[in-house]
Structure 1
Amino acid sequence: MGLFQQVVLRSIRRQLSSLGSEKRPFIAGHKLLYTCNLRCKMCPFWRRQDEKLLSLEEEKLMLKALADFGVSFMGFEGGEPLLRRDIKDILAASHSLFHTSLVTNGWFLKERARDIKDYLDYLFVSIDGIGELHDRLRGIPGSFKKAVEGIKEATKYLPVSISSTITRENMHQAEEIVELGRSLGVSVSFQVAYDYSTADKMSPDAQRLRGVLERLLEMKKQGYPIVESKEYFMSVINSWYHNDPWECKPWLTINIDPQGRVVTPCYVLNEYSGTQRVWETDLRKLWASIDWDSYRSCNKCALSCYLEPSLFSWRNPSMVRERIIDNVISYIRSRGSPAPQ
C-alpha cells in the first residue's frame, strides 16, 4: 500500500473514531518564509520582514509534533518556498510523515522540479491571469512565462494544479485560466482574494463575482478540471448571496508561521499572526482551549483550505468518491507509469 493510501486510511479511521469527541486538525499549512521574488498586489506576506528562519532540525521537530497531534496532510507555502536552500531536505522529512504538497510561483520550478519530485505528492503553481495581466498582478515581468515553463517541467514528474486567486482585476479571465490548465494537462484551484490590511484591496465586486462563481460551478458540473467541489461553489454562493451560511470548522486546519508558531484561530482573522512554537506547546491543550463554536458562522473568507474540510462528510457518497476514491485512483495512476527522464 502506497503512502497516500496509508495517509487517507489513517485520516478516515481517525475521523470516524473522533466523531463527537475532541476537535483535532488533520490538515496543516506552513509558511516556510515570507520572502518572495515577486510582488503580488493582493499578498501581504512578501511585505513582512523575515525573522531568523527555522533550521532543518527545528522544521523536523515541528513536523514530528504535528504528526503526533494527528495531522495527515502537510502543505508548504510562502513567500516563495523554493528560495529555501534546504527545501529538498524539508520536503523529504515531511514526505516520510505526511501527504505533502507545495505552492510555488513557478519562477524557479523549471530548474528545481527534478530535485523535489520524489518528496511531493502534489504541486500547486500560482497563475492569476493570462500573459501580461499575470505579470502585472505579480509585479514582475516574465512571471507568466516562468510559471508556464515550470508547469510543463513539473508535470513530467508530479500531479500539478494551477492555483489562481480571483481578484477585481482578473475575474474576467477565470474561464481562460481553466482553459489554460486544460491545455497544459493540469487542474485549476480557485480562491477569492481576501482584503488584508497590509495589501492592496483586490477583493472582487460582489455582483460580478457571483457570475464568475456560477460559471465556474457550471464548468465543474460539465467536467472541466477544477479542483474545488460543486459544494464549495454552492456554499459560497448561498452564503454571500442568499444569507445561508456554511458551517466553518477551523479546527480541522492548523497553520504554522515561518518561526514555527501556531496561527490561531485561523489563517485570516488575525492576519496570520502566530504565538506559541509548535514543538514547545501542548497542542491538544491549546486546541481544547479555543472557543471554536464562535467561528462556525464566520464566512468572511472563501479559502478552500477551510471551506472544503468543513463541508466534507463521510456520509455524502459523492463527496467521498470525488475527494477520496477518485484522488486515490488518480494518485495510483500517476505513480503507475515511470516518469520521463
Structure 2
Amino acid sequence: MAIAKPVLGRTIKRKIHSIGGRKTPFIAGHKLLYTCNLRCEMCPFWRRPDERLLSLSEEIKMMDTLVEADVSFMGFEGGEPLLRNDLPEILKESHKRFHTSMVTNGWLLKSRIKSISNYLDYLFVSIDGLEDTHDRQRGIPGSFKRAVDGIKEAKRYLPVSMSTTITENNLDSIFDLMELARSIDVSVNLQVSYNYSTADKISPERERLHHILIKLKEMKKSGYPIVNSYEYFDAVINSWYNNIPWVCKPWSTINIDPLGNIVMPCYVLNEYSGKYKVWEVNIKELWNSYDWGQYESCNKCSLSCYLEPSLFSWKKPSMIQERIINGIGSYIASMF
C-alpha cells in the first residue's frame, strides 16, 4: 500500500525534525518534459524546447534522493506526461516510493490509462470550461471531448479530479463546469491563472474574480465536489482584497525540471528555472541553509500546489479531516 509509509511514517519523522525548526519538503513536483500536444494560452512551458529528458535510471536516482529527503508525495506533470513512452516504468518506480499523482491534458488518456492506472493514486485532468471555452483556451479543437472521454475511462480505475485554471476567458463558464463535474461524478481542483512573463496575459479581472471566489466557497459548502479547502478561498480573498496576507512556505514543495534541476525558491518566482541537480546536493542541508524567510510574505500566486501546503496545520481539525482522513479513506475505498 503505497500511501502508508509516506503519509504516516515520513510525516511523523518530519514532525519530529520540525520541532527543532528544521525544514523538509514533503511534496515533490516533477515536469517530465516541456513538450505538449496542446497550446494553452496561459502556459509558458510548451513554448520551451526540451534539451533532453532524464533516462529511467536518472528518474530513479532522482526519486531515491527525494526519499532520503523524506518526501512523501510525488506529482508528475509537463508538458504532457503521456507523450513519454516510458511513463508506465517511471510511474511504477514512483509508486514504490511515494503517493503518486499526475496531471494530464487528457488527449491520450483513454488509450493509455490502463497501462498506468496501477501506479497512480490520483489523477488530475485539465478542464477549463465547457467545449467551446475549453478548446479555445487549450488551443486545439476536440481537446474537450478527448479529455472528458479520458476522464470517464480513467475513473473506472482510480480517483480523478478536473484541474481547472481560472482565467479571464472562462470566468463565465466556471459554474457550468461545477455542474459538469457533478454530472460525471468527479471533483474539481481550482487555481487562478498567473501571468508568466512568457505566456499570454489572461489572469482574470479582480472584481469579477472576487465574486466568483465567494460563490465557489458557497458552492463547496452546499456540497459541490470542490477539492480546494475553505482555507484556500479565505486566503486568496483575504490577501488579494482585504490586505490580510497568508504565510507562504515554499520549502514544503520541491520542484524538479525535465533536466533534473531543483527549481528554487518556487515554481512561480523562478518560472521553472533550476541549477542544482537534485542528486548532486544534500537537500536537507540546502533546505536549511536557504533564506526562505524573504518569500513568506509573497502572495502573488494562488497556485494550490503552494497555497494548500502552506495553509495546512495539524491544529486545524477541518484540514486534517479533509486532507488526511478523507484522503486516506478515499484511497482505501478505491482499492475495492
Q: What's the TM-score bracket when you normalise by the shorter of the two chains?
A: over 0.9
Deviations 1:267-287 (A, max 9, x none): 000111011111111212221
Alignment of 1:162-241 (within 5 A): 162-241=162-241
Is 1:69 matched with 2:69?
yes
Q: What corresponds to 1:303 in structure 2?
A: 303
Letter in 2 for 1:52: R
Q: Give the ranges of 4+ consecutive aligned residues of structure 1 lying more than 2 Å apart after TM superposition.
A: 18-21
Letter in 1 for 2:226: I
TM-score (norm 2): 0.98
Determine helix, strand or coil for the equivalent of 1:103. strand
Aligned-pair CA distance for 1:175: 1.2
Q: What corresponds to 2:105 in structure 1?
A: 105
Deviations 1:258-300 (A, max 9, x none): 0000000000001110111111112122212211111111000
Determine helix, strand or coil for the equivalent of 2:334. helix
Once residues 10 and 239 of structure 2 are traced to their aligned partners in structure 1, the CA distance between those partners, rounded to angstroms, is 28
Once residues 64 and 221 of structure 1 are traced to their aligned partners in structure 2, the CA distance between those partners, rounded to angstroms, is 40
Is 1:327 matched with 2:327?
yes
Is 1:143 matched with 2:143?
yes
Determine helix, strand or coil for the equivalent of 1:124. strand
Alignment of 1:244-283 (within 5 A): 244-283=244-283
Once residues 17 and 284 of structure 1 are traced to their aligned partners in structure 2, the CA distance between those partners, rounded to angstroms, is 14
Determine helix, strand or coil for the equivalent of 1:289. coil
Q: Kindly, what percent of the aligned residue pairs are identical?
A: 63
Letter in 2 for 1:204: P
**Number of positions where the alignment pairs a residue of Structure 1 with one of Structure 2:** 335
Is 1:54 matched with 2:49?
no
Q: What corresponds to 1:19 in structure 2?
A: 18
Determine helix, strand or coil for the equivalent of 1:163. strand
Aligned-pair CA distance for 1:150: 0.2
Deviates more, 1:327-336 or 1:12-21: 12-21
**Does the aligned pair in 1 maintain the 2:25–2:254 contact within 8 Å?**
yes
* Unaligned residue ranges in structure 2 (runs of 5+): none
**Does the aligned pair in 1 maintain the 2:29–2:77 contact within 8 Å?**
yes
Aligned-pair CA distance for 1:330: 1.1
Once residues 329 and 276 of structure 2 are traced to their aligned partners in structure 1, the CA distance between those partners, rounded to angstroms, is 38
Aligned-pair CA distance for 1:178: 1.4
Deviates more, 1:27-36 or 1:305-314: 305-314
Q: What corresponds to 1:3 in structure 2?
A: 2
Once residues 143 and 85 of structure 2 are traced to their aligned partners in structure 1, the CA distance between those partners, rounded to angstroms, is 21
Letter in 2 for 1:162: M
TM-score (norm 1): 0.97
Q: Root-mean-square deviation (CA), in Å?
A: 0.9
Aligned-pair CA distance for 1:14: 2.5
Once residues 105 and 334 of structure 1 are traced to their aligned partners in structure 2, the CA distance between those partners, rounded to angstroms, is 23
Aligned-pair CA distance for 1:332: 1.1
Deviations 1:189-241 (A, max 9, x none): 00100000100001100000001110111111112100000000011000000
**Does the aligned pair in 1 maintain the 2:166–2:193 contact within 8 Å?**
yes
Once residues 125 and 158 of structure 1 are traced to their aligned partners in structure 2, the CA distance between those partners, rounded to angstroms, is 12
Deviations 1:82-113 (A, max 9, x none): 00010000000000000000000000000000
Letter in 1 for 2:61: L
**Does the aligned pair in 1 maintain the 2:133–2:173 contact within 8 Å?**
no
Letter in 1 for 2:81: P
Aligned-pair CA distance for 1:132: 1.1
Once residues 285 and 155 of structure 1 are traced to their aligned partners in structure 2, the CA distance between those partners, rounded to angstroms, is 40
Once residues 268 and 17 of structure 1 are traced to their aligned partners in structure 2, the CA distance between those partners, rounded to angstroms, is 30
* Unaligned residue ranges in structure 1 (runs of 5+): 337-341
